[in-house]
Amino acid sequence: MPISEDRPTDTAPARRARGRLRDAKGTLILIGGGTTPTGAALGGFIEMTDAKNGASIVGLTTASSQVGLARDMWLADLAQAGATNVSIPMVETRDQACDPEIVEQVRSARGIFLGGGDQVKLVSALSGTPLEDAIRDAYFDGAIVCGTSAGAAALTKTTLAGNEVDDEGKLVEQYIGPGLGLLGYHTLIDTHFTQRRRLYRLFVAIAEFPALMGLGIDEDTALVVRREIGTVVGGGGVTFVDGSSVRYNNSSEVTKGPELTISALRVGIVGTGQQLNLKKRDVVT
Could you tell me which residue, 247 or 52, shows the higher pLDDT? 52
- Work out the percent of the chain whose per-residue pLDDT is above 90: 80
**pLDDT tens-digit series, residues 59-110:** 999 999 999 999 999 999 999 999 999 999 999 999 999 999 999 999 999 9
**pLDDT tens-digit series, residues 158-213:** 998 877 655 555 666 777 899 999 999 999 999 999 999 999 999 989 998 999 99
- Please say whether the beta carbons of 151 and 122 come within 8 A: yes
pLDDT at res. 9:
44
The answer on pLDDT for 30 being more than 90 is yes
Say if 179 falls within a structural domain: yes
Say if 4 falls within a structural domain: no
pLDDT at res. 6:
39
List for the chain the helix, strand, coil content (%; round to 5).
30, 25, 45
Could you tell me which residue, 15 or 37, shows the higher pLDDT? 37
The answer on pLDDT for 265 being more than 70 is yes
pLDDT grade for 10, boundaries at 50, 70 and 90: very low
pLDDT at res. 172:
65
The domain tally of the chain equals 1
Domain around 88 = 12-183+218-230+276-283
Say if 125 falls within a structural domain: yes
pLDDT at res. 171:
60
pLDDT at res. 149:
97
Closest CA to 268 of 225, 190, 214: 214
Cα 124 to Cα 63, 119, 138: the distances in Å are 10, 8, 20
The answer on pLDDT for 7 being more than 60 is no
- Please say whether the beta carbons of 175 and 209 come within 8 A: no
pLDDT grade for 19, boundaries at 50, 70 and 90: low
Say if 53 falls within a structural domain: yes
Say if 197 falls within a structural domain: no
pLDDT at res. 257:
67
Q: How many CB atoms lie within 10 A of CB 253?
A: 9
Say if 73 falls within a structural domain: yes
Beta strand ranges found along the chain (DSSP E): 27-31, 57-60, 86-87, 111-114, 144-148, 158-161, 164-165, 171-172, 175-178, 187-190, 213-217, 221-226, 229-234, 238-242, 248-249, 262-263, 266-270, 275-277, 282-283
Say if 244 falls within a structural domain: no
- CATH code of the domain covering residue 87: 3.40.50.880
Say if 46 falls within a structural domain: yes
